[in-house]
Structure 1
Amino acid sequence: MSPKVVWLFVFVGLYWSYCIFWGIKGARMARTASDYFIAGRRLSLWVFVLAATATSFSGWTFMGHPGLVYRDGFQYAYASFYTITIPFTGTMFLKRQWMIGKRFGYVTPGEMFADYFQGEAIRFLTVIVALLYSIPYLGVQLGASGFLFNVLTDGLVGEQFGMWILSLVVLVYVASGGLRAVAYVDTAQCILLALGIVIVGIIALNAVGGWGALNDAMAALGKQPTLGKWKATPDGYNAYLAVPGVIQWTAGLGKETPVGGLWTGIMILTYMFALMGIQSAPAFSMWSFANTNPAPFAPQQVWGSAFMIGLILFFFTAFQGMAAHFLGAHPAVTEAGLAVGNVISDAVNKNPDSLVPYYFNLMADAAPWLIGFLAVCALAAMQSTGAAYMSTAGGILTRDLYKRYLNPTATHTTQKLFGRMGVAFIVISALLVATFSKDALVLLGGLAVAFGFQMWVPLVAICYVPWITRQGATWGLAVGLIAVIMTDSFGQTIGSMFGGLPFGRWPWTIHSAGWGILFNVIVCVVASMMTQNEHQLAHRMKFHSFLREHATLPANKKSLVPLAWGVTIAWFFFGIGPGCVIGNSIFGAPDAGRDGWTFGIPSIWAWQILFWILGVAMMWFLAYYMEMSTVPSKEVEALIEDVGDTSLEKPGV
């Protein structure tokens, strides 16, 4: 057994011990159903900051994101702006959801929506979104962990066997300790995720010869516009260093190939919509309910996500992705004489997801222990999001199905039992799909975050717009989910059974999340116009009157609301929307070379860094100054401890 494999098992053993410890401790502290499902609404500030950050940025950030930066270049690297857009969703909704959850004692978003809209259909749709999100998303993460250990153990641990064994530990600590155990394990996972990405980025930068050598290599690449996967953009620039335009009126992937790359300005924007679904998914509603107060929301959104993870992705992930071109991973670049080394296998060209493990193995001789540590960092990143969705989905199944319809008087002990059974169901379902139908897993996994984004409409309704009716929110959500399916790979597969669809995946380079929210909003508005009811509006206004009383801005800041709207719209348009094409050459044309680049780096990279800094400032302005994520000045009094908790058990039973 090689030294790196020995160290791998040592670090995995230590990591597993930490996970099991918190599983046992969480189980002992989970005296009531509320303790188990939402940590008794008592998560501490820094636990939430780290845990929510780990949950937001999964193993895909660690393993998949660098590979796609390699595959598509800086036009794809705009995806790193999810460090802004994911917490932006939290800024919009978490504080207000916490206030409503505290006031009315909700444990799951299904309970909240069903009570607010006075209907059960929205509850069922919320459960469906939770399952469609958690099972494929978890399956992708668990499958990736098995692949990683297969590669790093040189085949000693089989991919399927590794996936099941690694998943068993997650199942044990999540099912035992509930959301509290997940949160405390996530604190360590967040630190490991961040450290791992930074270390791998340093390895990549060192391998390519440093900052100057990397930029020299990219300057040479920019002078050869047809070199690469997407060849030249319509403007004649190398597609790795430029966005190919605002939009392309193609019939969609599979029908016509985009010219110069997929990542147009509108594609980047709508892809960011999809990733915004991470914090609008039902799981994050439960995360919001789990806090003592909203104090952790702003630091998590501004400093944990936007600043810290943004800094890591815009630099260290960029190092990993772009350096690989010049280290042997890209045959065409090597043949053109632009490579500075040959330490990364060109197999990465066919499977970009395998890039990060190759960086690990560069340290096999110099520091085999580091490979073991980095493997645990990757494993922690993969399990951080999966554990959270396992826990929350188990709670949703228990509260919104079992307790609501089968056993309304279920005791705390019974609820915890069925919550654990729900976690087991989610994990086993994800593993079975990952084991026996990887194609289905890939298809469904691509839909997960787009499904989560469709929850924006009912969240906007309950947090801001009382005019939206039950019928509008329900039918809008249902149609939005269907639109997501039909404009993504899964819909293409279904359509092929009936002779094919007239459009391909992501028509007009608009992501399925964009199509989904478009149809969602249209149907919601039309249905709401047709179903206005004074009695139902009066019921909804109870919630909005409460929010206006507790979440209204001070008089001296109300005049800044138009400015907040303007700043946000401008940032979205120029940072991650159609206006981002300006960044292609504003600081020097992609083929101008280092002397022609204002900051000595490609203009597109400088533009991204600039708007990352502006994005952090925007998030601070909204979360702190506009008080969208701060503790309300007026204390929120709970009207009921937990909706539906009729058990008379005493704590500790």
Structure 2
Amino acid sequence: MELAFSGWSGIVILLVYGLIMLSVGVITFLRNRNIHQSLDEYYLGGRGLGVMVLFFTFFATQYSGNTVVGYPPSAYRLGYEYLVSVPFFIMIIMAYLLFAPRLYSLGKKYNLITPAQWFEKRFKSKGVTILASLLMLYGLGNYLLEQLVAIGQGVDGLTGGTVPYQVGVVFFVIIMLIYGWLGGMRSVAYTDTMQGIALLFGVFMLLIGSIIYFGGLPTSADYMQAYSPEKLGVPDGPGVVNWFSLLVLIGIGAAVYPHAIQRIFAAKDERTLKRSFSRMAWMPFLTAGVVFIIGIIGINAFPDLSTAESEQLVGMMASAVASQNVIFYWAMVLLFGGVIAAIVSTADSVLLTFSSIISNDLYGSYINPNASERKKLLVGKLVGVAAVGILILVAWFPPGTLYQIFVLKFEVLIQIAPALILGLYWNRLHTKAVFTGMLSGTIVASVMTIFGWSYLGVANGLWGLLINLIICVVGSLVMSVSVVEEEEAKQVIGL
């Protein structure tokens, strides 16, 4: 079947969406000329994001290019075992509810811009703050790499290979840097809203088209029963353990994404934040559930794809559906335009937070405390551009599938969770125990991952988290906290 998205049609689609994103950046800059004078304005949008914009920017953070481009191939390769991807996102919402409302209140009280500032305010420790900052920068860098890989694969699939993977990455990175530089958080949030609407519409149209032209789940089940019966089975005992460990790892890890935490700070008020979360509660079924079904249908639509070929599954299915009908063609235009826009805006929000940690928490706090906010912003932007340049070189020849890249970062990022969450509620949490636990958990998770060690099918990051948590809790109970330190903690967290 001839691909509907090929040659100039795909290129025109990409150019149109690119121009829209650039326009958003320019308009945002013209309407907010003081945006480059204030860290608060640039990184948090002046703390004025309303329900709809906040919902869509959370939506884009949770359901990025990895979900739409990377999850169907994983469902294609694993079959019904990958149904666990839906509870992944339910766990993220549950984890948010543990700390987000309280963290918002404290963030507003102390005018916090970055999550690292919370560590500094709560523990008053240079060691804890720098270690947490480095772990967050690692997680952000890993996530940004994932988005760059997704951009290349999305462009390649949309244009039928006319625009090479590497060219797509460079093109949209340039657009991302320009509109992000101009408009900051507001540009990101507005493009998130645009792409979110297009993405939801396009994904549902792809599902409908796939059912009409390839057959639904019963057809795929018949095919799997005849040719791939292992994809119909449920996991064994070790598989269930692995499922559960991934639920915890990704549920907590994604909730403590630094750029997600910044969105908590950017909410207009606590009521706005809670209303946005109430809408997010439906998205696991409407997004992850839908793309899972698309991946299962793909098993029958494009059988016997290799791992590398299956990474292009969404582009192949969208192109096939678009070639059938003019309505589906334009729906797929919206879908893939939304996919690319989602990936780019997610990458830009990651870069924004990466830059904020560099500019405010490392450069502004320890390297040049007397720097003006304008200079801090400039340093953060320049370091961010340099980081993107390095990651482009890595993304040029990606080190693994999107799912493998996705899981890797959580092993380390989740180690900030005990200090972040326990620190909100426990006055006696000891600074030295926090630092030792965070460092020990990071070392254990990293060593196990690097050397390929595993135990009982539990994710390496959870073994690190368990050791981290034990050290934090037991260490805090054993080590004495002075009356002054406990009173200071009470004043900070208000308990």
Distance between the aligned counterparts of 1:36 and 1:101, measured in 2? 16
Distance between the aligned counterparts of 1:352 and 1:148, measured in 2? 13
1:306 and 2:281 are equivalent in the alignment: yes
Q: 1:480 to 1:358 in 2, by over 3 A?
A: same
CA contact (8 A) 1:175 1:419 kept: no
Aligned to 1:274: 249
CA contact (8 A) 1:8 1:369 kept: no
Aligned to 2:218: 215
1:78 and 2:84 are equivalent in the alignment: yes
Distance between the aligned counterparts of 1:220 and 1:154, measured in 2? 27
Aligned-partner residue type, residue 245 of structure 1: D
Distance between the aligned counterparts of 2:97 and 2:128, measured in 1? 23
- Measured after TM superposition, the shift of residue 369 of structure 1 is 4.5
Aligned-partner residue type, residue 12 of structure 1: L
Query: What's the secondary structure of 2:282's corresponding residue?
Result: helix
- Of the candidates 241, 245, 266, which is equivalent to residue 232 of structure 2? 241
1:143 and 2:165 are equivalent in the alignment: no
Structure 2 unmatched ranges of 5 or more = none
Aligned-partner residue type, residue 260 of structure 2: F
Distance between the aligned counterparts of 1:194 and 1:407, measured in 2? 44
Distance between the aligned counterparts of 2:440 and 2:424, measured in 1? 21
Aligned-partner residue type, residue 295 of structure 2: G
Aligned to 2:46: 40
Query: What's the secondary structure of 1:467's corresponding residue?
Result: coil
- Of the candidates 424, 430, 434, which is equivalent to residue 469 of structure 1? 430
Aligned to 2:294: 320
- Of the candidates 526, 529, 533, which is equivalent to residue 481 of structure 2? 533
CA contact (8 A) 1:22 1:184 kept: yes
Distance between the aligned counterparts of 1:62 and 1:77, measured in 2? 15
Aligned-partner residue type, residue 363 of structure 2: Y
- Measured after TM superposition, the shift of residue 107 of structure 1 is 1.4
Distance between the aligned counterparts of 1:220 and 1:149, measured in 2? 30
- Measured after TM superposition, the shift of residue 52 of structure 1 is 0.9
Over the residues paired in the alignment, what is the CA RMSD in angstroms?
Answer: 2.5
Q: What are the residue-to-residue correspondences of 1:438-453 with 2, within 5 Å?
A: 438=399, 445-453=406-414
Q: 1:402 to 1:217 in 2, by over 3 A?
A: closer
Distance between the aligned counterparts of 1:306 and 1:390, measured in 2? 26
- Measured after TM superposition, the shift of residue 91 of structure 1 is 1.2
1:357 and 2:315 are equivalent in the alignment: yes
Q: What are the residue-to-residue correspondences of 1:21-100 with 2, within 5 Å?
A: 21-28=23-30, 29=32, 30=35, 31-100=37-106
- Measured after TM superposition, the shift of residue 10 of structure 1 is 2.8
CA contact (8 A) 1:98 1:294 kept: yes
Structure 1 unmatched ranges of 5 or more = 229-237, 248-263, 330-345, 493-503, 549-653
1:519 and 2:470 are equivalent in the alignment: no
Using the size of structure 1 for normalisation, the TM-score is 0.69
Aligned-partner residue type, residue 316 of structure 2: Y
Distance between the aligned counterparts of 2:193 and 2:430, measured in 1? 39
- Measured after TM superposition, the shift of residue 440 of structure 1 is 11
CA contact (8 A) 1:200 1:356 kept: no
- Of the candidates 263, 266, 271, which is equivalent to residue 287 of structure 1? 263
CA contact (8 A) 1:46 1:296 kept: no
Rg larger for = 1
My pick for the range that moved more, 105-114 or 529-538, is 529-538
Aligned-partner residue type, residue 521 of structure 1: L
CA contact (8 A) 1:484 1:515 kept: yes
Distance between the aligned counterparts of 2:394 and 2:401, measured in 1? 7
Q: Percent identity?
A: 24
Once the two structures are superposed, residues 573-614 of structure 1 have per-residue CA deviations (whole angstroms, 9 ceiling, x without a partner) of xxxxxxxxxxxxxxxxxxxxxxxxxxxxxxxxxxxxxxxxxx
CA contact (8 A) 1:434 1:441 kept: no
- Measured after TM superposition, the shift of residue 116 of structure 1 is 1.0
Q: 1:458 to 1:157 in 2, by over 3 A?
A: same
Distance between the aligned counterparts of 2:196 and 2:323, measured in 1? 28
Query: What's the secondary structure of 1:487's corresponding residue?
Result: helix
Aligned to 2:184: 178
Aligned-partner residue type, residue 19 of structure 1: M
Query: What's the secondary structure of 2:321's corresponding residue?
Result: coil
Aligned to 2:378: 417
My pick for the range that moved more, 396-405 or 525-534, is 525-534
- Measured after TM superposition, the shift of residue 192 of structure 1 is 2.5
CA contact (8 A) 2:139 2:409 kept: yes
Distance between the aligned counterparts of 2:401 and 2:150, measured in 1? 15
CA contact (8 A) 2:444 2:463 kept: yes
Query: What's the secondary structure of 1:508's corresponding residue?
Result: coil
Distance between the aligned counterparts of 1:139 and 1:349, measured in 2? 20
Aligned to 1:576: none
Distance between the aligned counterparts of 1:423 and 1:84, measured in 2? 31
- Measured after TM superposition, the shift of residue 152 of structure 1 is 3.2
Aligned-partner residue type, residue 195 of structure 1: F
Q: 1:528 to 1:359 in 2, by over 3 A?
A: same
Aligned-partner residue type, residue 419 of structure 1: G
Q: What are the residue-to-residue correspondences of 1:473-622 with 2, within 5 Å?
A: 473-488=434-449, 491-492=450-451, 504-534=452-482, 535-544=484-493, 546=494, 548=495
- Measured after TM superposition, the shift of residue 326 of structure 1 is 2.1
- Measured after TM superposition, the shift of residue 205 of structure 1 is 1.5
Distance between the aligned counterparts of 1:442 and 1:242, measured in 2? 21
Aligned-partner residue type, residue 237 of structure 2: V
- Measured after TM superposition, the shift of residue 155 of structure 1 is 3.0
Distance between the aligned counterparts of 1:440 and 1:433, measured in 2? 13
Aligned-partner residue type, residue 483 of structure 1: V
Distance between the aligned counterparts of 2:7 and 2:335, measured in 1? 12
Once the two structures are superposed, residues 188-226 of structure 1 have per-residue CA deviations (whole angstroms, 9 ceiling, x without a partner) of 12222322322222222122334xxx325526745x6xx
Once the two structures are superposed, residues 349-385 of structure 1 have per-residue CA deviations (whole angstroms, 9 ceiling, x without a partner) of 5543221111022035334545433321221232232
Q: Report the number of matched residues.
A: 484
CA contact (8 A) 1:136 1:441 kept: no
Aligned to 1:397: 358
Aligned-partner residue type, residue 120 of structure 2: A
Distance between the aligned counterparts of 1:432 and 1:220, measured in 2? 41
CA contact (8 A) 1:203 1:359 kept: no
